[in-house]
Amino acid sequence: MVELTAENYHNFIKDSPEMRQKMMQQIQYVTSKLAPLPFSVCVSDPLLEDTPIIGASKSFLALSGRDFREIIGKNCRLLLQGVPAEEISRSARKDSRNYCTTARLRNLASLPNMVLLQRNARKSGELFYNYIMLGALRGPGGRILVAGLQIDMGDKVEKITVADQAAAVDAHQENMRLVQKAVFGEMGPSSDSSAAYPGMAPAALPLADR
């Protein structure tokens, strides 16, 4: 059971028991779908302030060196903690922020996947290069969540070849399809049925930014 702790509760609903219940349903639902996946992925909600993580696979926990209570409600930039400032790609940070901002738009027809290479750190402080793919998961009533897939590319950027990157993209593309299926099944973006997805109705949660 994932719980909202004192550290991460501020990212969610403070003054509405009903909204808090819906938020918890969403966290439990997404986490239950992602946890068994055999690759690193986290899913964030762009409609909430600071696009917090609402679910992740166990492989993401292994990659980050953290447990569920340390990631739920946090932005995925937690992987930058411990990275020297001069080694952080500012362009990758800007691109990822812009991607999540775009995902908030209503009636978004499509949002292509994006790949990024960023220097990250595990909780232990161990540094590595993370090959990331961001993708929009489309659910009931046009509901969109942002999935982040990760592959550890080692600690030497000069050793990452074009072939390595191509293989990572291929793996990410297949895994993104698996994440979409795990979270929302085969549901198309035009469906307005949310009965099977607790807390996932488009109007269930307040928007961070319209």
Residue 89 has pLDDT above 70, yes or no: yes
Q: Express each pLDDT in 131-141 by its tens digit.
A: 999 999 988 77
Lowest mean pLDDT: which of 29-33, 44-48, 66-70, 141-145? 141-145
Taking 90 as the threshold, does the pLDDT of residue 110 lie above it?
no
- What's the Cα-to-Cα distance from 27 to each of 97, 134, 162, 172, 188, rounded to whole Å? 22, 19, 37, 23, 22
Q: Following DSSP, what letter does each residue of 52-78 receive, concatenated?
A: -EEEE-HHHHHHHT--HHHHTTS-GGG
Q: Provide the total of helices (H) and of strands (E) in the chain, helices listed first.
A: 5, 5
Which is nearest to 57 in space by CA: 85, 29, 31? 31
Rg (CA), the chain: 16
